[in-house]
Structure 1
Amino acid sequence: MPRRYHPILVALHWAIAFCLIGLLIAGMTMLAPLANNDPAKLMSFRMHMALGGVTLFLLVARVIVRLLTRTPPRLPTGNALLDRLAPLTHAALYILPLAMVFSGIAFASASNLPDAVFGSGPMPESFVHPARAVHGIASTLLMALIALHIAAALWHQFFRRDGIMTRMWFGAR
């Protein structure tokens, strides 16, 4: 059994983490507050949608690498309930970003946003669509889950002192 995750899995983990955090921050601070007729919104959508596509590619690659590589054994938390919840939260860290990507695609498609962002079509006047609501709810849940994930990693590292951070970093397996 390896002591660390495969280096490709590690690289994908951190790349996805930076993409997701960047996308969440950009969505909250750049996209949401800008008026639809603000030219900066078009550029923000362009970057957001492109990075969302990159993130989808990285997520699919991560799932494939995860299925094809051996991983270290799960570290116990010392609490049976938390030990049962850990795999569910890790699964949600795959599911919620995928929900974000697909709800973003559905929302963009329903509002003809790709025509404006990647073509010469007009910017939609309204973004009211059920997929946008899903995108917003999933983003809130994802932010909470990322915060929980970081807190759990720090708890393992500094209170349990089980070396969890070295497992998701580069080094001899």
Structure 2
Amino acid sequence: MTKYKEIIATLKQQDDILAEHWEEEIDTIIHKLKFLTPDAIPSVCIVDQNNFQAIYSEELQEKAKVAGGTLANNLHADVAVLIIIQRDESLYSVIPTFINLQADSKAVANNNIYIIQTHQFNESEENYLQDVEILAEIIQPKYFIFGRNGSDWIKFDLS
């Protein structure tokens, strides 16, 4: 059973309306991406500002998959989307150095660098739907607009 189905099953015992909302939202995201070809599913790497190392877990992989991407477990040249989780304002002083080290990646070449600014990202099950929405807006922007751009995440523009 997927993590989101476990969460929905638990929610149904506590709040049937909220469980129905979550199920509907996630099913809608999955349905919109159902017919994507494999080449339209980008490789995504999520790194933490604290150490600039790739973050990988089965749950985060599931979130990325639901959102239309494939989570890479390390930073490599084929990564098409690079997401940095911001921990504090010092990120903007160190990000140029980090990006220069990734100059050969598809993400940098195609200006696909994003910063997640919400401190709750990937912190608890309660944020699962929020996390998927953030990732969906970033990974598949042609299909999703949840209104989180500018509040929960931003695009880091290299130009």
- Structure with higher helix content: 1
TM, length-normalised to structure 2: 0.27
Larger radius of gyration: 1
**Larger RCO, structures 1/2 (Cα 8 Å, 6+ apart):** 1
